[in-house]
Amino acid sequence: MEISFEGKHALVTGAGKGIGRATALALARCGAKVTAVTRTQADLNSLVQECASITPVCVDLADWGATEAALQDVGPIDLLVNNAACANLQPFLEVTPDKFDQAFSVNVKAVLHVSQIVARGMKARGSGGSIVNVSSQASQCALRDHAVYCATKGALDMLTKVMALELGPHQIRVNSVNPTVVMTEMGRLGWSDPEKAKTMMCRIPLGRFAGGGRGEQYFIPAERQEQHDQRSHSTGGWRLPGLL
């Protein structure tokens, strides 16, 4: 099936790595004008090197004021992908307030804020549009050490429903996608341990995590790839078969 986003302007958050980067590149390939937002300039530099038509915006989305300033001149947006998120894994009894606040600031509050900025423009122009929030299966499934992450994604699902309710009359569609494990940098953080991975993998009929072999290759900077390899060697060198 041929998909065209010709004439559309898409904004993707967390576009420096992983799913967001692959989404930005895919949208650009399908003809969209793409604005890529993330907080690491080096990732934006390599993204623009890979696809020169992408417009980079470097900002920490946890910073409300900086986000407002960074997005004020991006122009009219037709499609928004709220993808940026962080996953700080801590056992429930060891959850710290700083990690809690950081996760809610990025995974929930920034989604609300960026959506407000974009949807206000859509409403004013009467153009309608589409917003996709990248949630997770973790919104519905209890995962060990993921108390805060699961809570942010549960909150995001409900935020998505209310956004859909309130923005629908302005012809703005709001949906979420709730992937299971994708072997990006975040996926590896949570699921590189073979014993832990088994508990998840055994419930996936395809018997593998997403993100390897077929389709997009997920971007992990070389130095972090090296760190990961060293880590996985020190824990026995186990790697998911056929992935990355």
58: how many CB neighbours lie within 10 A of its CB? 17
161 is catalytic: no
149 is catalytic: yes
Q: How far is the CB of 168 from ligand NDP (least distance, A)?
A: 23
Q: How far is the CB of 14 from ligand NDP (least distance, A)?
A: 3
Residue nearer to ligand NDP on the CB measure, 42 or 165: 42
Q: Beta strand pairing status for 79-82 and 129-134?
A: parallel
**Annotated active-site residue in 149, 161, 198, 218:** 149
229: how many CB neighbours lie within 10 A of its CB? 12
CB neighbour list of residue 17: distance below 8 Å, 6 or more residues apart: 38, 43, 184, 185, 218, 219, 220, 221
Residue nearer to ligand NDP on the CB measure, 165 or 204: 204
Q: Which residue has the tokens 């992908």?
A: 81
CB 170 within 8 A of CB 123: yes
**Annotated active-site residue in 17, 153, 198, 218:** 153
Residues engaged in binding ligand NDP (CB under 6 A): 14, 16-20, 38-40, 43, 60-62, 83-86, 106, 134, 136, 179, 181-182, 184-187
Residue nearer to ligand NDP on the CB measure, 101 or 124: 101
Q: How far is the CB of 75 from ligand NDP (least distance, A)?
A: 20
φ, ψ for residue 131, nearest 5 deg: -125, 130
Residues annotated catalytic, as ranges? 149, 153
